[in-house]
Structure 1
Amino acid sequence: MTTSQVSEKALPESKKRSKAAKGTVKIESDKGWLRLRFSVAGKRYAFAVGLPDTLLNRKVVQAKAQQIELDIISGNFDPTLTKYKPEKLSQESKADLLTIPSFFESFMEYKAKEVCSKTMEKYRATYNYLLKFFCDQPVNFLDEAVTEKFMNWQFSQGLSPDQVKRRMEELEACWRWHKAENNPWEKMGKRIKVPPKQRPKPFSREEINTIIEGFRTDRYYCSYADFVEFLFGTGCRIGEVIGLRWQHISDDCSQIWIGEQLTRGKRKAAKRNRARTITLTAKLQNLLIRRKQSNPDPDSLVFTSPKGGAINDHNFRNRAWKKTLTRLGIDYRKPYNTRHTLISHALDLQMNPVMVAQLTGHDVKTLYENYAGNVNSRPTLPEL
């Protein structure tokens, strides 16, 4: 397919890198700006065309690509590229052309290669707010006063200080990634003071046993009982348990290797690329032995949904978890609280914090700051 044959519906696919056919001039997007890439007589060429990546500009660049293709076929190709290159634009002119939302959109495309789907959802939310507030305003429209108006407008939309601060930090990172001469977002995030939040209350031992038994006796959600018990017993992140495969478990089921996680169907390395091996209690070991079939497929999941697929953490939380806790009369806390609960009880039992951090994949400082919500691990006032 030549560039001239690309339909409007196929345009978004043209942003993806793929090997072009011989004689084809390929349109690419680099940090929100269009460029052309092609080969002539074994020599590769690539140059920017000086236009931001928009639907209209892609049609303009498409015509230029077609001209180059015809010149190659007819023998009139200019190897110096002078015939095809536009006049060099200044940074100020580029800022006039590129809109604020599209500036962030190119940053999103770059980040999509390295962040999880949950993070991309947050980026998309930020993009939608930019689109709603700025529409097609150019990048050079921004200054500190305008960014402050955008910040205050988000508060008027009902966003929390934590949400607004995160968005300001995302935008600051975007402008830094673009190496923009001025970064009007630089000071915004620091000006937002996020009120401290009370640490979540860990589940008591009685609540843990009640929840596990509640799942085991539930006609609809009993298939999640082992999954829930394993979450409480290991303190692993939910995605780590969802993504656990039989190849990660020792032959006698006494140890598990945690180096991957599975979230919303996307498998990736464990957080911070930190792998760890956990020696299980006899109770959890027997749980796995009961689930283990003879010669299980090493790639198959240890814990699955009722239909046999990967567990969707969103569906599990909103259906099985919430309904079960409500039925049992237990105050709602997110499933992730199973991790906080394990750490709190381990510290209550005077377990070495360094050992706890090794089991859960934290550093000791993070462990105390974010997870040590139990009474015995806190400093106490002296008796006077």
Structure 2
Amino acid sequence: MPRTPKGEVAIANKEGWIQLRWRHHGKRYYLSLGLRYDPINVEVAKRRASEIRLDMLSNNFDATLGKYRTDPSQQPQIITAVDLFERFIEWKAKRVQARTLEKYYGLVTWLREYFGDGAVGSEDTADDFLQWLMENLEPSTVFERLGLLKAAWDWGIEQELVTANPWSELTIRKSPKQKPRAFSRDEVKRIIQGFRDSPYYCHYADYVQFKFATGCRTGEVNGLRWRHLNEDCTVVWLGEAYSHGEFKDTKTKKPREVKLSASLAEMLRSRMSAGVEGDDLVFPAPEGGPMDAKNFSARGWAKVLAAAGIEYRSAYHTRHTFVSHALASGMNPVEVAAITGHNVKTLYENYAGLIKSHPETPNLF
């Protein structure tokens, strides 16, 4: 949808009905006139648009939009904070994975506790809520939740549930966050060996080796099936993940193929039994079925690190460790991103200090 020029009021056809759209003082406004989109009604809409434009120029703009509605019965009903956000979740649920919605549902709980059946009446009220939230959550978490609130109210404006976004001008200063420290090469060897030597957790040794050696996301490794590998286990297709009790697409929804190192391919071939089926998991849980990431981290991972005298970092640091060492060795960032499934821009932003390769002009002529 093209952006309406500043100070102008656009007349749009929304499913056969006239809708006016404009921006004023950095905020977006939408107004349905209750008129079908036809030549006569468009002329009526032009007069209404002209009235709004003049009011903005003369500082007489009615931000409630009541002045510009065709019929007093069109005055919007006040919608509660919880109701608006729950409707936003219903709309969002058709567009994102179930796991992503968890933080949305969590925010509903906070909104219900603070606002009850009330609405977010003003920017001051919205700011008071954020300050209260800061007393209960980390600044970085509140910063993320504010982004959800801004998106929800922008959607609410477009759906004509509200006329303004009280969150749009609010900001949260995030506390500086220390970047995670990658495991050293020596620590990686000790961790893998620690699993191999453990009478309780040796089942996970190959799983841990694969995670360190590929930088794959945990869900991608947990969802890996034998049919995702070629015959000699030298190439792996990564397009399915297992997380929160279900198989689904990978996080980016972009499948990728990765050529594996000789040592990794050999390890995988040694795991392949005679009766293995294509749909069988490469790294199943000890009792069968998909691996439980939380159970693995809380039990095997934590205990093996402790036994090896290695500072605890989450199992997800296997991914960070792979990227860090690959870049530090001079590997091309684009190739690293192709292996791990990172967005190249994100890789540069998060690991700029480790990138040693520099673009070089080729000898073309």
| TM-score of the pair, normalised by structure 2 | 0.73
Structure 2 residue 208 is the aligned partner of structure 1 residue 224: no
Counterparts in 2 of 1:254-293, with a 5 A limit? 254-293=234-273
Give 1:363 deviation, angstroms.
3.1
Structure 2 residue 109 is the aligned partner of structure 1 residue 128: yes
**d(CA) in 2 for partners of 1:123, 1:218:** 41
Corresponding residue for residue 173 of structure 1: 151
Structure 2 residue 129 is the aligned partner of structure 1 residue 150: yes
**d(CA) in 2 for partners of 1:121, 1:323:** 29
Give 1:373 deviation, angstroms.
6.2
Aligned to 1:203, the other structure's residue is in SS state coil
- Residue identity opposite 1:142 in structure 2: G
Counterparts in 2 of 1:16-95, with a 5 A limit? 90-93=74-77, 95=78
Structure 2 residue 142 is the aligned partner of structure 1 residue 164: yes
Corresponding residue for residue 193 of structure 2: 213
Corresponding residue for residue 94 of structure 2: 113
Structure 2 residue 327 is the aligned partner of structure 1 residue 343: no
Contact conserved, 1:216 with 1:225, CA < 8 A, in 2?
yes
Corresponding residue for residue 181 of structure 2: 201
**d(CA) in 2 for partners of 1:176, 1:295:** 55
**d(CA) in 2 for partners of 1:88, 1:263:** 51
| TM-score of the pair, normalised by structure 1 | 0.70
Question: Do the aligned partners of residues 299 and 129 (structure 1) sit closer, same or farther apart at CA in structure 2, a change above 3 Å counting?
Answer: same
Structure 2 residue 276 is the aligned partner of structure 1 residue 312: no
CA deviation profile, 1:204-243 (whole Å, cap 9, x unmatched):
1110010011111222222111111000000111111111
Question: Do the aligned partners of residues 209 and 89 (structure 1) sit closer, same or farther apart at CA in structure 2, a change above 3 Å counting?
Answer: farther
Corresponding residue for residue 83 of structure 2: 102
CA deviation profile, 1:293-352 (whole Å, cap 9, x unmatched):
225222221111111111121222122212221221111111111111111111122111
Contact conserved, 1:144 with 1:184, CA < 8 A, in 2?
yes
- Residue identity opposite 1:155 in structure 2: M
Question: Which deviates further from its counterpart, 320-329 or 223-232?
Answer: 320-329
Give 1:372 deviation, angstroms.
5.3
Question: Percent of pairs identical after alignment?
Answer: 44
CA deviation profile, 1:133-172 (whole Å, cap 9, x unmatched):
01111x3x42100000000001122x11111111111111
Aligned to 1:113, the other structure's residue is in SS state coil
Give 1:120 deviation, angstroms.
2.1
Contact conserved, 2:191 with 2:305, CA < 8 A, in 1?
yes
**d(CA) in 2 for partners of 1:117, 1:205:** 36
**d(CA) in 1 for partners of 2:87, 2:187:** 47
Give 1:377 deviation, angstroms.
3.9
Structure 2: stretches of 5+ with no match in the other structure: 1-70, 359-365
Structure 1: stretches of 5+ with no match in the other structure: 1-86, 380-384
**d(CA) in 1 for partners of 2:72, 2:273:** 66
Question: Do the aligned partners of residues 244 and 367 (structure 1) sit closer, same or farther apart at CA in structure 2, a change above 3 Å counting?
Answer: same
Give 1:263 deviation, angstroms.
0.7
Give 1:286 deviation, angstroms.
1.1
Contact conserved, 1:244 with 1:302, CA < 8 A, in 2?
yes
**d(CA) in 2 for partners of 1:106, 1:187:** 23
CA deviation profile, 1:37-78 (whole Å, cap 9, x unmatched):
xxxxxxxxxxxxxxxxxxxxxxxxxxxxxxxxxxxxxxxxxx
Aligned to 2:236, the other structure's residue is in SS state strand
**d(CA) in 1 for partners of 2:253, 2:235:** 19
Aligned to 1:152, the other structure's residue is in SS state helix
How many residues are treated as equivalent by the alignment? 284
Aligned to 1:256, the other structure's residue is in SS state strand
